[in-house]
Structure 1
């Protein structure tokens, strides 16, 4: 089914068709991923924060570092971290050498929970990409990288 069929519109100019298709597909994929995380009572953004902190390999991160690495940039990183603190998935500590600096670390409970979520997310990602073979996945990734590179210059 084409994007025009999906949104019930007349044929679109190619650039508009691509823009709408990218947005529509991103929302579709987000819905599948969000559904995979629902049993874990975690949002996609919270999951992303946990993955970022796991990637720190035990080193603390500050809010700016987390926000810079987020897939979806947002101004409410503090709120996401606060929710993860309530779940005991992360801790926030004042840096001993600079009391104005706040450091965030993933907890053992956060790492354990994240490991369980990884399987659900991997299954969702497989569902999202099931119609594509490995060559198509590589090509699509290259095209999307090119698109972002061109618009950032």
Structure 2
């Protein structure tokens, strides 16, 4: 019977990567469940937050795409669906009729505002095992990793 060499232990970096992937997927699943009850995807919610953050200012499709957390290859189609749902309003720019500007509708604003508290409660539940100091430390470490990965 042939013998196989022992499997090398996973390196620390790979263990960290896998732990972050598992955590990220679990957090994403929780969020998707919350938004599912409102008929929203995480990307649609992200668009609503981006537009709310813009105040009353309308944004172009490109400006919205640049701020999305997860890249969507067809932001125009995403915005078309959101307009049909009454979550956003779009109009041609007065300065350049080729440019389509997007802003939050009253319905979209009410929805994103209504989700603030349930989302905060979910995040509190997700991170309840950590003290505020540990959360600050984790956030700092994740920002360091993010900043160093932007160089790549």
Q: TM-score, normalised by structure 1?
A: 0.89
Following superposition, the deviation at residue 107 of structure 1 comes to 0.7
State the alpha-carbon separation in 2 of the partners of residues 65 and 145 from structure 1: 23
Q: 1:88 maps to what in 2?
A: 86
Q: 2:4 maps to what in 1?
A: none
State the alpha-carbon separation in 1 of the partners of residues 119 and 77 from structure 2: 23
Which one of 121, 124, 135 corresponds to residue 122 of structure 2? 124
State the alpha-carbon separation in 2 of the partners of residues 133 and 71 from structure 1: 26
Other structure's SS at 2:37 match: helix
Task: Name the larger-Rg structure.
Answer: 2
Which one of 126, 140, 146 corresponds to residue 148 of structure 1? 146
Following superposition, the deviation at residue 19 of structure 1 comes to 1.1
Gaps in structure 1 of 5+ consecutive residues: 1-8
Q: Which 4+ residue blocks in structure 1 deviate beyond 4 angstroms?
A: none
Q: Go from structure 1 to structure 2 and tell me whether the alpha carbon gap of 1:134 and 1:10 turns closer, same or farther (over 3 Å shift).
A: farther
- Whose helix proportion is higher, 1 or 2? 1
Which one of 95, 98, 105 corresponds to residue 97 of structure 1? 95
Other structure's SS at 2:59 match: coil
Following superposition, the deviation at residue 11 of structure 1 comes to 4.4
Which one of 26, 29, 33 corresponds to residue 28 of structure 1? 26
Gaps in structure 2 of 5+ consecutive residues: 1-6
Q: 1:50 maps to what in 2?
A: 48
